[in-house]
Amino acid sequence: MAKKNNFYSDSFRIFKKISKKIVDSELTDDDNIIENALFFAIGIEKLLKGIIYDVNPLYILESPDFKNSVPLYYGSLINDKTEITKSPNGDVIAFHSSVLRAATFSKAILDNKNTLMKLKNARDIIVHHNYKNLEIEELKILLERDFYPLLSAISAEHNLGGQNNFFSNLHSKLARKSSTLQNDVEKQIKLKMESASAHWATLKGSSTFDRKVGEARTAELLKKVFAYPAECPSCKNYGVVYTAPLMEFDSYKNEMVQTGLETKAFKCGFCTLEVADYKELDYLKIKPDTKNKDKIILEYKGDLEVLENSK
């Protein structure tokens, strides 16, 4: 394994402790689950920053400009301090920005983006809100089902020696525990897809079927601000992805700016497929098509009276 930065070594220490907790079946009460979910989120954020740091250390800084970054990273090389900041800002980017930036360079991160955002949202509740707002069973699933395959994929892609560095050589036990729960996800998705496909086949075969109804309904839903089109994995028509904006403070503009989108759910107006679970969204690779929204609205717009008459 190649030499890695300190963000990696910090994450290794955290993941090893969580691995032992999972294998020893210590996630039996709410406090243990919450504590380990928080550590999982901290470890992931450090891991994401490690991946970004390897590409370019400047990319983890909130203020990566020359005057600010030089004293932070190259202080020993400075001879003339005229063009540098006297009190540099060493603050780094937030969790969601780390996900978005790391996904630019990592397929494993991109493929598990919704899972990572789910973990980020849980971390935010643990740190900033009341525990009663948490879904404890979902946190347990994140740890027992998603912890191992997520980190295994990242380790394999970035040559991080996960068997030892992440899992303390407990990988086979972690894999067994995760695999029993992974089957549930695949079954759920298979059943949803079969149901939606059967509904679509029946609908198309009906003498009263009017495609314009589905098109008009979809066009209307897409008019919402953070709704975007995406091809339905079941019927291959365009459905609607519901998203939420990801915001970050821009130190240059001195204001909050949108840096990306978090996928929340998918709904198809043709076959009625609906997906809201983060793991199912990742599994089906449902992503908002932000570029073609207006084009799809125009294509599906049709005669809106059709929609009114169908109600």
The pLDDT of residue 311 is above 80:
no
Higher pLDDT, 110 or 205: 110
Nearest CA-CA partner of 15 in 119, 151, 108: 151
Residue 150 and residue 49 share a domain? yes
pLDDT tops 70 at residue 154: yes
Shared domain for 29 and 148, answered yes or no, is yes
Of the three residues 141, 169, 197, the one that is the final residue of a domain is 169
41 domain residue, yes or no: yes
Encode pLDDT of 60-104 as tens digits: 998 888 888 898 888 888 888 888 888 888 889 999 999 999 999
Q: Could you tell me what percent of the chain has a pLDDT over 70?
A: 95
Q: Is residue 24 part of a domain?
A: yes
Neighbour-count burial of 158, counting CB atoms closer than 10 A to its CB (0-12 exposed, 13-18 middle, 19+ buried) = buried
Residues in the chain: 311
Q: Which of 44-48, 111-115, 152-156, 257-261 is predicted with the least confidence, judged by mean pLDDT?
A: 257-261
Q: Find the mean pLDDT for residues 259-280.
A: 92
pLDDT digits (tens, 9 = 90+) for 291-301: 999 999 988 87
Give residue 254's domain range.
186-310
Place 243 in a pLDDT band, splitting at 50, 70 and 90: very high
pLDDT averaged over every residue in the chain: 89
End-to-end Cα distance, the chain: 61
**181 within a domain of the structure (yes/no):** no
The CB density around residue 310, as the number of other CB atoms within 10 Å, is 12
Question: Is 185 within 8 Å of 282 (Cβ atoms)?
Answer: no
Last residue of a domain, one of 121, 141, 169: 169
In a domain? residue 153: yes
Are residues 249 and 196 part of one domain?
A: yes
Report the 3 state secondary structure along 80-109. CCCCCCCCCCCCECCHHHHHHHHHHHCHHH
Q: How many domains does the chain have?
A: 2
Together in a domain, 210 and 243 = yes
| 194/163 same-domain check | no
